[in-house]
Amino acid sequence: MIGIEEQIDLLKLIGTEMKKQTECVIIGGSAMLFYGLKSATKDVDIVFFSESDRKAFIRTAEDIGFGQINRIGDYKAGTPVIMERKNARMDLFINEIVSFRLSPGIMSRIKEKHEFGKLTADIISPEDIILLKCATDRAGDRKDASDLIAKFPINWDSIINESAWQTQNGKKVFSVFLFDFLEELKETYKAEIPNGIIRKTRKLAETEMMKALGKNKIADLERFSPEPKQR
């Protein structure tokens, strides 16, 4: 586990030692540390914009004692390079986190930046932390999302619009994940989510499910339809 002071010290150390100027996005529990909503997180989650930036970060992390715990061949789209040193762990992504992609909208909502030597860290917005937690769906995600909703005036229109972007550019059923996630937050965690937002996300989810079912039906018809007779 790592707290905010340890996280800042780690980013300062790596940023001071880096040879090139690099920008990254801090997500998940690591971002929540900056917002004061967590006392500790088990790993530092960082997203880079290019492989060259991630490699530059990895080389510097190795210089200060971090080692990779997954093989190069294990890396697929949306999966991180995992690095560890003693009790500190870092998950290093490029552009995509599981089925969630960095988008122009996400970058436009970043309001907090920190400079650590040659490392610029952009802190993802509360709205996008909620969306990302919907995509990853790990233990504690719902509690984290409800804490964000309780503390910040959430821009729900941004969440709806980003869900539509993610559906079009990433996971095709992203809106279904979002609807299930928000409905459980409202019902189980009593999160203050407007009923209109639940209705909108339900409509988006139903629309995408109908599209998916429609494509499957067309595929089934094509697969089982008889071959045209040769004249």
Q: List pLDDT tens digits, range 202-216.
A: 999 998 888 877 755
pLDDT exceeds 60 at position 180: yes
- Spatial CB neighbours of 194, under 8 Å, sequence gap ≥ 6: 156
- Maximum Cα–Cα distance for the chain, whole Å? 78
pLDDT exceeds 70 at position 147: yes
Q: Which helix (H) or strand (E) holds 218?
A: helix 195-224
For 170-188, give the secondary structure using H, E and C: CCCCHHHHHHHHHHHHHHH
Please state the separation of Cα 224 from the chain's center in Å: 40
At 221 the pLDDT is 36
In 3D space, the residue among 48, 66, 61 whose CA is nearest the CA of residue 11 turns out to be: 61
pLDDT exceeds 50 at position 222: no
At 82 the pLDDT is 95
pLDDT exceeds 70 at position 217: no
Token pair belonging to 83: 């690095």
In 3D space, the residue among 184, 178, 169, 172 whose CA is nearest the CA of residue 203 turns out to be: 178
pLDDT exceeds 50 at position 225: no
Q: List pLDDT tens digits, range 5-20.
A: 999 999 999 999 999 9
Please tell me the distance from the alpha carbon of residue 106 to that of residue 111, in angstroms, as a whole number: 10
Other CB atoms within 10 Å distance of the CB of residue 230: 4
Q: List pLDDT tens digits, range 120-132.
A: 999 999 999 999 9
200-228 residues labelled b (16+ CB within 10 A) or e (exposed): bbbebbeebeeeeeeeeeeeeeeeeeeee
Predicted confidence band of residue 218 (pLDDT cuts 50, 70, 90): very low
At 75 the pLDDT is 64
Mean pLDDT across the chain, nearest whole number? 89
Q: List pLDDT tens digits, range 30-86.
A: 999 999 999 999 999 999 999 999 999 999 999 999 999 986 556 677 889 999 998
Please tell me the distance from the alpha carbon of residue 145 to that of residue 149, in angstroms, as a whole number: 6
At 220 the pLDDT is 46
Please tell me the pTM assigned to this model.
Answer: 0.88
In 3D space, the residue among 8, 30, 15, 3 whose CA is nearest the CA of residue 90 turns out to be: 30
In 3D space, the residue among 83, 80, 1, 65 whose CA is nearest the CA of residue 39 turns out to be: 1
Q: Tell me the domains of the chain and their CATH numbers.
A: 1-124 (3.30.460.40), 155-225 (no CATH)
DSSP string, 107-151: HHT--EEEEETTEEEEEPPHHHHHHHHHHH--TTHHHHHHHHHHH
- Spatial CB neighbours of 172, under 8 Å, sequence gap ≥ 6: 208, 211, 212
Q: Give percent of the chain above pLDDT 90.
A: 73
